[in-house]
Each structure stands twice: as C-alpha cells, then as structure tokens.
Amino acid sequence: MGGPGSRSRGERGNGHDGPRATTGEPDEYLERYTDRFEQYADRYPRVVDVVLVLALMGGATLGSNLSLPGADPPGQDRTAIVLMGVSCLALLKYRTHPRTAVVVTAVCTVIAISRGYLLTPLLLGPVMAALYWLATLTDRKTTRVFGVTTTAALMAAAVFADSMDSHSLLLRTIGPFFWLLLPLAAGNMTRLRRAYLASVQARAEHAERTREEEARLRVTEERMRIARELHDVVAHHLALANAQAGTAAHLALTSPQQTKKILTDLTGTTSSALREL
C-alpha cells in the first residue's frame, strides 16, 4: 500500500500542485489600457464626456425607479428623470465650469430626494462625478468648501426624506457621507498624481536643458582654448619672422650670404604660420 511507487507518485503530485510564481501581467495590462484611455481622452475629450454623461444618465434613470422593499414606488411624474437630465447636461461643462456643475447637480439631487425618490449611489452618480472633476481640476480649498457644502446638503435631504423613514438617522447620513467622500478622495489622488507627473516632466526637461547648456559651454571653452593656442603659435611665428627680417635688413650690405640664409629661414617661418592658420 505504501510502496515506493506510491510515494514517488505523491511526490510528483506535490511537485505539480505546488504554488506557481505570479507575475505582474494584470497590473501591466491595466496600466497599458489606462494610458491608452487617457491618450484617447486627451485626443477626443468631447466624445469621452458625452459617453460618460450618457452612462451617468442611464444609471440615474435606473436609480430613480428603485425603492425599498415594501415601500411605495416613486411617483410616475418623471421628475427625477428631468432633474437628472439637467444634472447631466451641466456635467458637459465641467471642464470650464466645475463649480457650476457641482452646484447644479447637487441642487437637482436634493430636489429629487425631497420629492421621495430613494437616495442610492445610482441617483448620486451625477453629483459624485461632478465632485470628482472638481477635486481634479481645482485647488484643495475649493474642493473642501464645495465638498463639505454638498455633502451637508445631501445628508440633510436624506434625514428629512420620506423614502428613508424605515432607516435610522445614522444609516440615513453615513451612506451619503461615504459615497460622496469617495469621489473627493479619488479626485484629490488624481490631481496629486498629475501634479507629480508634471513635476517629474519639468525636472526632466530642466535636466535636458542643463545638459544642452553644459555641452554648449564645453564646446565654447574648447573653441576658446584652441583660439588661445593658435594665437600663441601664430604670435610666436610672427615675432620670429620680425626678428629674422630685422636681422636680414641689418646684414644685407655687410654679409650677403648670411642674409640669404636668414631670408630662407624667414620663408619657412611664414609658411609654418600659414599652416597653423
């Protein structure tokens, strides 16, 4: 029963069933698709905005039809759909007017909650998107002011909403608080990430400019060094030629042979100076 054959099979089985080394391929795929989406969003921002707004509109419309178990369904006047439509239209201007988008979406959501529609993440979708884009595009102080005001208004609306009478006060307030805190935190993280990437790019560009300036400075210094050396060599040859010419003029009448030799050397000196130039 427990022979060597069975033991070897068990060992082989354990070898096959052992843990396998994991790789970071899912993270690489996620990062790759994220980069592609950001590039597409930068290239076609209006198309991306329209698609996101339509998705939010669909989710908000679905959320307006939800109700608690045993509760009366929302009214059939389609008020929530109109309000969410206005909210989504305001979201189309979030790039240039993020504060206005937050105000409009918050007001429309508060009105929808006060009319008896159930406060759900789907109904909060437009205002959550507006808060995310506000945190991404504006400074921290603006995000804090609008975020606190919007959260307080929606929590107050949830406290007095008839659609949530069966819930305690804690459940009425803690849900909207955390759902609205999520886009604010995500937007701040996105803004910090973009600022970090911008600073890294700026440092890289500064380093590249510094390297180019250093290279140009080294080239200039090398040219100055060559010019100084050339100046010294040419000046030496010219001084020597001047001395030879003066000596030849002095000895022209008294020593013709020596004068001839000096003039020959003068020719070589000037030729060397020309070659250096």
Q: Are 124 and 83 in contact (CB under 8 A)?
A: no
Q: Are 110 and 157 in contact (CB under 8 A)?
A: yes
Residue 163 lies in a domain: yes
How many structural domains comprise the chain?
A: 2
Are 144 and 186 contained in the same domain?
yes
Backbone CA torsion sign across 252, 258, 261, 267: negative
Are 220 and 177 contained in the same domain?
no
Domain boundary among 207, 230, 251: 207
Closest CA to 148 of 114, 184, 112: 184
Domain boundary among 207, 241, 256: 207
**Residue linked to tokens 């998107």:** 129
Backbone CA torsion sign across 121, 127, 132, 135: negative
Residue 67 lies in a domain: yes
Structural domain range at position 231: 216-276
Domain boundary among 159, 176, 207: 207
Please report how many Cα atoms fall inside a 13 Å half-sphere around the Cα of residue 96, on the Cβ side. 5
Are 183 and 254 contained in the same domain?
no
CA distance 79 to 98: 24
Are 265 and 158 contained in the same domain?
no
Q: Are 71 and 121 in contact (CB under 8 A)?
A: no
Are 135 and 195 contained in the same domain?
yes
Model confidence, pTM = 0.62
Residue 6 lies in a domain: no
**What tokens were used for 167?**
């819930």
Residue 109 lies in a domain: yes
Which one-letter amino acid corresponds to residue 165?
D
Residue 15 lies in a domain: no
CB within 8 A of 238, min separation 6: which ones?
273
The pLDDT profile of the chain, 277 residues, written as one tens digit per residue, is 444 444 444 444 444 444 444 444 666 776 677 677 777 777 888 888 888 889 988 888 887 777 666 555 555 557 878 888 899 999 998 989 999 999 999 999 999 888 878 888 888 999 999 999 999 999 999 999 999 999 999 988 888 876 666 666 777 788 889 999 999 999 999 889 888 888 888 888 888 888 888 888 888 888 888 877 777 777 776 777 777 677 777 666 677 777 777 767 767 777 776 676 6
Residue 73 lies in a domain: yes
